[in-house]
Structure 1
Amino acid sequence: MELRPYQVEAKQAILSEWSEGRRKTLLVLSTGLGKTIVFSSVTEHQVKLGHRVLIMAHRGELLSQAADKLKMLTGLDAAFEQGENRSLGSFFSVTVGSVQSLCQEKRLSMFPQDYFQDIIVDEAHHALSESYQRVLAHFPDANVLGVTATPDRGDKQTLGTFFDSQAYEYSMSRAIREGYLSPVKARMIPLQLDISKAGISGGDYSAADIGCALEPYLHQIANEMARYCRGRKTVVFLPLIATSQKFCQMLNDVGMRAAEVNGMSDDRSKILAEFENGMYDVLCNSMLLTEGWDCPAVDCIVILRPTKVRSLYQQMVGRGMRLFPGKENLLLLDFLWLTERHDLCRPSALIAKDANIAAMMDENLRNDEEVDILEAEEEAERDVLREREEALARELAAMRSKKKKLVDPIQYALSIAAEDLTSYEPTFPWEMGPPSEKQLAFLENRGILPDTVGNAGLASLLIDRLKRRQEEGLATPKQIRCLERYGFRRVGTWQFDAASALISRLAMNHWRVPQRG
């Protein structure tokens, strides 16, 4: 298979990182962009160099898919290290291994530490877990490639604590614009679902609490889906198996052809095949299909499992982002989840990098209409930029207004005839250092413009002079600034009371200076 341009770039970037000594590197490709194709091509390249390669994953489906795709793309067969299957001593250069099997100490210790020269971790957002780390630590000199569509983890650990670099990233928004992923239209259903009392379990909203919160609304949601999802191939993500089964029946009751799969389904493969072949319009599942299942014809995703984990949200939506003949776009249905928390993932989590743009996107998407998420991001970016410009303009205006009321230190020194201030040069190291925030705040509060006070020594001298002048009852910097604007000179030598009286007279005369006769 001929690689797409970005896949070629990704492969070259990975090999370059390894050759330059950054042995643990990441590839970030959104769901549907062919990460398996890329790491299969990388595997083929390394095998030609005489290397043994381990492809590691946490689910059996991912291992089978990796082996099948590797064979289809490169012709390479792979040995399995999983359950009863053993790969040690196999004449195949590639091993696909289950992390649950490999991390067992007795099994792992049988492998020499230099047995694999390259290790590929599929769904690498799991790589920081103890089981993966145990296996990776056993092969300390191997090149490691972590492959993920979603580089952040729900527990807020960063992959950067293990990986040395990110070799390549091809974002979802860029892929949509360049025609490699389906456009996404989001619709927020104005059905207010209260999850404010849902607890947190394992770094995310408690599935049991979400299931209970959903119960009163399931009939309404089924009716909304009958309105918006007809004619679309739809996948619904729900928090619990019982909720998924109950909701599936409700969808059938409103005239939709729905089926349900879960981890306990004996006929799971059969149901998935029947859904793909058009026997069902809707497939309900309790978080089973977030990884390792592809049905490019899916063109509607319904999120009934709210999450604070961006990677999980992206994986759910990613099930419908692949291209398919006749497919115009993916419809994403989300709801107005009511929660006091600010970390709930909404459609903006798919593409927005900036928190302010994401918040503006979410606000703009609250209208009951389909909105293209790229267009929503562009609109939100314009809105945020406009708000920032307006806020900056207000801030600059406030600063100018403030500066009008403040006196420049040199002007102040000249006005009070303070030669020691006008000619001051710092001598000691502490004087040469920058003024402290406390010094600058004191000066500004007393009417001195702090912007040009360049060192701690001058700040200290000014503060001493201000305090002494206050004790002597002399004019303040603010009085000096005000009166000098109206043409009065050497105000710094005036008494405070005289300056105050003149300012009062000017105010009573509407700030007009009387003409001399």
Structure 2
Amino acid sequence: MWAPQIITRYALLKNIEWDVVVQDDDVYGQALAEFEDKWNATHLLNSEILNLYANKLNFAIERWDMDYDLSAALVKPNFMQRKALKELNRYRAVGTNRALVVAAAGSGKTYLAAFDALNFNPKRLLYVVHEGSILKKSLETFQDVFGSAVSYGIYSGTSKESDADFVFATNITMCKTLELFRKDEFDYIIIDECHHATAETYKKIIAYFEPEFLLGLTATPERMDNQDVFELFDKNVPYELRLRDAIVNNLVVPFKYL
């Protein structure tokens, strides 16, 4: 029989978590046997295994280099991104100046933002996120799409590259220094992980700047504190791709618990 759904803190922050209660001892036995099988298949790490792994890795890299022509590689939108881009263009065509895209984690939200920015062609762009560790990865994604056509800068507690064409900033640092920027400094602003956007730092940033277009990205817009993320974007949601649909369409891999 199924137990009631139990939501833990981790589940609320990440995804839905299910717990199951069973009356058949065989189910527990199968799970235990699976665990023991995985445990017994492991090996103690030693220099011999490390050397073997290093040799296999080097061989794989050499084969990849021979088989893959980097100069011919072009980053292109996947089917989800193409649909979202079409809808974003449609919304802008009727005068919409802000929108929220809901897409499962791992389905390509950052690339979607880069592709939409490419369509929009801003002179200056601001990308805001709550963690400094995400900035560099986001910047690299935009470099994949824009290449050397624009300059890139990180604006955080440890870096103040605010003169770049595309600025990647943490919400806290940007909120503390808003007066250093004109209200119309950026043509295009992206708020990543914008389920955090109900925090005061984000609200101040959104209220201060006057971009031609504001894009919000999140996998989990619904909140448990009655704060309305949708309202920050005038309830404009041109596209949604939830986790189940992302799995069905092979954009993310299904997860398996043991």
TM-score range, shorter chain: 0.5 to 0.7
Match of 1:152 in 2: 222
How is 1:252-271 mapped onto 2 (pairs within 5 angstroms)? none
- Contact 1:51/1:117 (8 A) holds in 2: yes
- Contact 1:67/1:77 (8 A) holds in 2: no
Report SS of the residue matched to 1:133: helix
Match of 2:172 in 1: 100
**Distance in 2 (alpha carbons) for counterparts of 1:141 and 1:46:** 12
Structure 1 stretches of 4+ with a deviation exceeding 4 A read none
Structure 2 alignment gaps of length 5 or more:
1-74
**Distance in 2 (alpha carbons) for counterparts of 1:37 and 1:98:** 19
- Contact 1:83/1:101 (8 A) holds in 2: yes
> Which of 116, 138, 146 pairs up with 1:42?
116
Report SS of the residue matched to 1:51: coil
Q: C-alpha offsets along residues 308-363 of structure 1, whole Å, 9 cap, x if unaligned?
A: xxxxxxxxxxxxxxxxxxxxxx2136xxxxxxxxxxxxxxxxxxxxxxxxxxxxxx
Higher alpha-carbon Rg: 1
- Contact 1:70/1:77 (8 A) holds in 2: no
Structure 1 alignment gaps of length 5 or more:
184-329, 334-517
Match of 2:92 in 1: 18
TM-score, with structure 2 as normaliser: 0.65
**What is the deviation of 1:72?**
2.3
Report SS of the residue matched to 1:147: strand
**What is the deviation of 1:80?**
1.5
Match of 1:176 in 2: 247
How is 1:312-323 mapped onto 2 (pairs within 5 angstroms)? none
Q: C-alpha offsets along residues 195-251 of structure 1, whole Å, 9 cap, x if unaligned?
A: xxxxxxxxxxxxxxxxxxxxxxxxxxxxxxxxxxxxxxxxxxxxxxxxxxxxxxxxx
**Distance in 1 (alpha carbons) for counterparts of 2:172 and 2:109:** 22
Identical aligned residues as a percent: 27
Match of 1:331 in 2: 256
**What is the deviation of 1:74?**
2.6
Give the residue type in structure 2 aligned to 1:51. K
**Distance in 2 (alpha carbons) for counterparts of 1:78 and 1:84:** 15
**Distance in 1 (alpha carbons) for counterparts of 2:130 and 2:103:** 19
Give the residue type in structure 2 aligned to 1:172. L
How is 1:274-285 mapped onto 2 (pairs within 5 angstroms)? none
Report SS of the residue matched to 1:331: coil
**Distance in 2 (alpha carbons) for counterparts of 1:141 and 1:2:** 26
**Distance in 2 (alpha carbons) for counterparts of 1:19 and 1:108:** 30
TM-score, with structure 1 as normaliser: 0.34
Give the residue type in structure 1 aligned to 2:237. Q
- Contact 1:32/1:181 (8 A) holds in 2: yes
**Distance in 2 (alpha carbons) for counterparts of 1:141 and 1:38:** 19
Out of 139-148 and 61-70, give the one that drifted further: 139-148
**What is the deviation of 1:174?**
1.9
**What is the deviation of 1:84?**
4.4
Give the residue type in structure 2 aligned to 1:71. Q
Give the residue type in structure 2 aligned to 1:54. L
**What is the deviation of 1:19?**
3.0
Match of 1:114 in 2: 184
Report SS of the residue matched to 2:128: strand
> Which of 153, 164, 170 pairs up with 1:79?
153
**Distance in 1 (alpha carbons) for counterparts of 2:118 and 2:252:** 26
Report SS of the residue matched to 2:215: strand
